[in-house]
A = this chain, B = another copy of it.
Amino acid sequence: MARVGMTAERLTTAAAELADEVGFENVTVSALARRFGVKDASLYSHIRNAQELRVRVALLALAELADRAADAVAGRSGKQALVAFANAYRDYAKRHPGRYAAGQLRLDAETAAASAGRRHTEMTRAILRGYEVPESEQVHAVRLLHSAFHGYVSLERSGGFDHSGEIESSWDRLLDVLDTTLRHWPA
C-alpha cells in the first residue's frame, strides 16, 4: 500500500483549512481521512486521538494570530498600535473563523504555557507602553482589552449584532473609547 506522505504537521495544516471551510466542530478524524484519500484508521499512525488533533489546530491558530498581530503592530505605538492589534485580531477571526474558534479551546496548563497565548499578552503589554497605566494596573488593562476584542468578535460571530447594523462603526467607536479609557485610566 503506497504511502501518501502524511505527517502530524500536514494533518494539522489540513485540519486548520478544513476548520475554516466547515467549522471547527465539524473537523473529524473521518473528514480528514477523506481529504487525504485514506481510511480513518490510518491517521492514528500520526496522531494519538481526535483531541490531539484539536489541540494542534488550536496551537497553530494561536501562533498565526500572534504573528499577524506582531506584524500589524510593528513600528507603531499608542493608539495606532492599539488599533492595528485589534484590527489584526478581528481580521483574523473573520478570515479564519474555524481557526479562531480552535484558538478558544481550553488547553491544559502546560500546553497553554507553551503556546503563543503569552505572546498576545506580551504584545498587549507593549501597547500599554504608549499609555500611562500604572504597573500594578497593567494586568487589569490587558484583560479589559482582550475581553473587549474577544467579546466583540465572539458576539459578532454568533449573530449577536445582526439586528441593529452599524457593526463597523461600533467597532471603530469601541477602539476610540478604549484608547480614551487607556489615556485616562481611572485611579
Q: Which residues of A contact B (CB under 8 A)?
A: 25, 104-107, 109, 112-113, 117-118, 137, 139-140, 143-144, 146-152, 154-155, 157-164, 166, 169-170, 173-174, 176-177, 180-181, 184-186
Q: Pick the contact of A174 from B143, B155, B158, B163 — CB < 8 Å?
A: B143
With A146-B155, A151-B154 known, 8 other A-B pairs at CB within 8 A are A139-B164, A139-B166, A143-B152, A143-B161, A147-B151, A147-B154, A177-B181, A177-B185
Structural contact, A148 and B155, CB atoms closer than 8 A:
no
Q: A104-B154, A154-B154 are in contact. Are A147 and B159 (CB under 8 A)?
A: no
Give 4 closest A-B pairs by Cβ, nearest first. A151-B151, A147-B151, A140-B173, A147-B152
Structural contact, B155 and A147, CB atoms closer than 8 A:
yes
